[in-house]
Amino acid sequence: MLDPSANDGRKLRRRRVTLSQIAAELNVSTATVSLALRDNPAVSVDTRQKVRERAAELGYIYNRQAASLRTARTNIIGVVVNDVINPYFAEVFRAVENELERAGITILICNHRDDLARQKNFVDVLQQQNADGLVICPSLGTTAADIEQITRSGTPVTIICRDVEGATAPIVRGDDFRGTFDLTRHLIAQGHRSIAMIGGRRQTSSGRDRHGGYLAAMREANLAIPDGGGLPEIMTSAEGKVAVEALLALDPRPTAIVCFNDLLALGVMSGLHRLGIVPGVDIAVTGFDDVEGSETWNPPLTTVRNGSDEIGKHAANAILALVNDRPSPFARLLIPPRLEIRESSSAPPKA
């Protein structure tokens, strides 16, 4: 074993101070330290001064050659989404990937699971890896200030699938309001009068808009809204399966159920089958997104095609324009929905 005190003619190498050490000392992110050392105005003057002073005290040597290399293009785009398990987001991701691959770009995908802290951590890491730009489906709680902080640091951003009020970055998403409005109108035209909606988080634009479209169609037809105040804002197939008994207990009992997304609809139909109730015969069920395979479910699902391919392609084109110092081809882009009518939304059974 090497004795550090032994004088055998070899000099012990001093461990190099890293950005992570400085960040830990000051309780800030490594991305903040890196920006501060480059005197980037995205970091406050006070923080820049503290970072420089602590770096000097620790003996950190700023490598200008490495910094120059870091500011070069990496041909990497970060994609930050909330649920990679949801097949809809997988379809959006695939469309982004296909478009960027044609431009010679590699993508790194991060799954924040609607956790704002996870999202911020992923953004920090992607900036440390000098990603040329970011495509983000924002987490719950994301503000315009969060997006502007990223863009001020020199990283272009394109937002997908959810809106962020006040953000100046380009946004492309489906027209969620129109989608559920058309879907609910279809059920009303089928003869349904007691129609419940389940799922979606009201803190997100998609949750608010889909619920808003449903309410608008119900009010247009002067129909009462079933009292579903006790139902949680659920999202997944497993949650939909569990929620069926609560749905059937609503007053009045619904003859049709509008689900926030296709996965939720799949769970609801499974729960109905378990109770001996046949979806599409005894009660109508609809989804949203038109994920791959939904036309083969039992029964085939009536849903809304929400433009996953179009969203992915437009997002890729926007971020490519921004990283090449060109303006985005759009500021706000809503992809028109398309109703896919299948066997799960038949007319209510006759009394």
Length of the chain: 351
Report, in this order, helix, strand and coil percent for the chain, each rounded to 5: 45, 15, 45
Q: What is the pLDDT of residue 14?
A: 39
pLDDT tens-place string over residues 122-168: 999 898 888 999 999 999 999 999 999 999 888 999 999 999 999 99
Query: What's the rounded Cα separation, in Å, for the pair 290 and 327?
Result: 32
Query: What's the rounded Cα separation, in Å, for the pair 164 and 147?
Result: 9
Q: At 168, phi and psi to the nearest 5?
A: -95, -10
What is the distance of C-alpha 224 from the center of its chain? 32
Query: What's the rounded Cα separation, in Å, for the pair 213 and 219?
Result: 10
Range with lowest mean pLDDT among 11-15, 81-85, 287-291, 307-311: 11-15
**Average pLDDT of span 226-255:** 85
Query: What's the rounded Cα separation, in Å, for the pair 18 and 14?
Result: 12
User: At 321, is the secondary structure helix, strand, or coil?
Assistant: helix
Highest mean pLDDT among 46-55, 113-122, 196-205, 308-317: 308-317
Range with lowest mean pLDDT among 51-65, 84-98, 237-251, 306-320: 51-65
Burial 19-31 (b: 16+ CB within 10 A, else e): bebbbebbebbbb
Residue matched to tokens 């998609």: 206
Burial environment of residue 191 by CB neighbours within 10 A (0 to 12, 13 to 18, 19 or more): middle
**DSSP β-ladder status, 256-259 and 171-174:** unpaired
Query: What's the rounded Cα separation, in Å, for the pair 316 and 78?
Result: 11
230 token code pair: 């006790």
Q: What is the pLDDT of residue 70?
A: 55
Query: What's the rounded Cα separation, in Å, for the pair 149 and 216?
Result: 36
CA proximity to 195, closest of 183, 210, 205: 183
Query: What's the rounded Cα separation, in Å, for the pair 334 and 97?
Result: 20
pLDDT tier, 312 (very low <50, low <70, confident <90, very high otherwise): very high
DSSP letter (8 states) at residue 342: -
Query: How many other C-beta atoms lie within 10 A of the C-beta of residue 244?
Result: 22
Is pTM beyond 0.85 here?
no
Element (H or E) spanning 338, and its range?
A: strand 338-340
**Average pLDDT of span 269-296:** 97
Residue matched to tokens 């001020």: 152
| Confidence check: pLDDT of 3 > 60 | no
**Average pLDDT of span 315-335:** 96
- Average per-residue pLDDT for the chain: 89
122 token code pair: 């992923």
332 token code pair: 């706000």
**Average pLDDT of span 85-105:** 93
**Average pLDDT of span 242-257:** 92
